[in-house]
Amino acid sequence: MSLDQIFVFLKQVVVGWMPLQCQPLVSAILSVAAIIGVFASLFAITTVLERKGLGRIQNRYGPNRVGPYGILQPAADGIKALIKEDLVPRAADKFVHFIAPLVLVAPVFLALAVVPVGRNMVAIDMDGGVLFFFAVGAATELAVFMAGWSSRNKYSLLGAMRAIAQMISYEVPLILSAVTVVMMVGSLSTVKIVEAQAGYTGWLPDWYVFTPWGFAGFILFMIAAMAESNRSPFDLPEGESEIIAGYYIEYSGFKFALFFLGEYIGMFAVSGLGITLFLGGWHAPFEFLTWVPSYIWFFGKLLALIAGFIWVRGTLPRLRMDQLMNFAWKFMLPMALINLFAAGVWHFMPPGVVRWAVCAGLVFGPYALLGRTLFENKNITKRVYRYAE
């Protein structure tokens, strides 16, 4: 028994101890407990890493008081969230206000069920896995609306409207860029998609990110994922300086923590899908490293993507609403459609240098043209600073 399959083996052993009729139930409970445990602890680690990283980018320390180097900060935050008073506005719609955080958290954990985190390590391998992922993702929009509307607060309603408009706009390029991979594999099953990216050509793995359409698709997917998870620079729904915290302005204590958790788990889930679709899932990047357990590769890639998210958050300023919408509909959507076409051409051309050149031209030509034309209409000039005199 190898280290790679140790968790699968352990689960089989535990399930084997149980009487026959409750084996499926025990198996399901074990998978669910593993998903919730692992990703919730990853959430705790990510919050402290993010605050540390942002601190470093902004030339300050970040949390450094609780435990060595501040690594126990999440525990302190958790206790604080639990013992805080749970305030509900008097005018609020009590019931909707109460269930909104639950409606947000439950689907994002469900979405993780179809993400393969290692060899034979997926909670449900279903025929329509990718479709399932996007279907449960649709419920988060609903939760955001419920939170914003039930609070009876202008700012939270504004934040919810912004969030829904943003999520709907960016869901289109997100799904269209994922469709290229589905077209290429010919299956919606996440396990089959990972299997299709096994093997190595030269020293490069056969991941879809190393094809012209896959590269463009990956970039589009990650930008849309960033917008879907309301991360800076797409954090207009929260916009502390404009609408003070958006749809969760009236949430305090543990309900606020649930929103926070839901947002991060959503980010992990969509990054996990990005890894599955474009970065070869749990496959090792080099052939001589295949002995390293598969789940280490998956979580390594996940942490790398999260580091990218944190880096972007620390680097870019927030977009304006019109910039956000223009970017989604005038740039992301046409690029995603062109990319779909390029993927089709790639599928029907014989392998070789010509195919590479044609598809790269199909992707990067329109990219350059689209970028140029959009910029020309902008009349961008050097910014003039005016100071009080």
Partner 1 sequence: MSVTFAIIAVLTVASAVAVMTLRNLVHCALSLMLTFVGLAALYLQLNAQFVGFAQILVYVGAVAILIVFAILLTRGVEPPEQKIFSSSSMGGLAVAVAVFAVLAATIGSSSVLHAVLQPSHEVSVRQIGEQLMTRYVLPLEVVGLLLTAALIGAVIIAMRDEEGK
Which residues are at the interface with partner 1 (CB under 8 A)?
A: 96, 126-128, 131-132, 134-139, 141-142, 145-146, 149, 157, 161, 164, 168, 171, 186-188
Handedness of CA 138, 144, 150, 155 (dihedral sign): negative
Handedness of CA 360, 344, 333, 166 (dihedral sign): negative
Q: Which is nearer to partner 1, 42 or 146 (CB)?
A: 146
Cα separation, 7 vs 121, in Å, equals 8
Cα separation, 211 vs 213, in Å, equals 6
Cβ atoms of 83 and 92 within 8 Å: the answer is no
Crossing angle (nearest 10°) for helices 294-315 and 253-278: 120
The DSSP-derived string for 299-358 is: HHHHHHHHHHHHHHHHHSPPPPHHHHHHIIIIIIHHHHHHHHHHHHHHHHSPSSHHHHHH
Closest distance of CB 149 from partner 1, Å: 6
Closest distance of CB 92 from partner 1, Å: 12
